[in-house]
Amino acid sequence: MIGTFGSVIFLVRDFINLEDESRTTLSAYLLKPILGMFLAIAVFIVDILGHATISSASILQIRHETLYVLALAAGLLSEQTYAVVSSRAQMALRNMQERDAGQSAV
């Protein structure tokens, strides 16, 4: 939930920013909070694995404040992650279209 909150913070800032001419699409408003949630889960798993590797303490002794901050940071970084995923998806679609066009020409 905290990762989703971080994404929503970024989206609200983007929504009220009047200087930006390009508006965020509806799909971004739907997908970025979900992406922030998944990023927070990924950060949580990496933190648990790092704790298990580095420390001999119990998993119950992890500081919760650190997890909250990392989850919020993951949500705030969902904008950059969304841009990378979007560009990769567009590149893959272009490659598929070029390959399909090349096959239909043969």
What the block records as the tokens of 102 is 């090349």
Answer yes or no: pTM beyond 0.75. Answer: no
**Cα(3)–Cα(35) distance, integer angstroms:** 8
Query: According to the model, what pLDDT value does residue 90 have?
Result: 87
Task: Give average pLDDT by consecutive 10-residue segment, the chain, 106 residues.
Answer: 73 68 69 78 81 78 78 76 82 85 67
Q: Which residue is it, tokens 């694995």? A: 49
Q: Which of 81, 74, 84, 77 is nearest to 3 (CA)?
A: 74
What the block records as the tokens of 8 is 């929503």
Side chain identity, residue 16: I
Q: Is the separation of the CB atoms in 41 and 67 below 8 Å?
A: no
Q: How many CB atoms lie within 10 A of CB 7?
A: 30
**Cα(10)–Cα(33) distance, integer angstroms:** 10
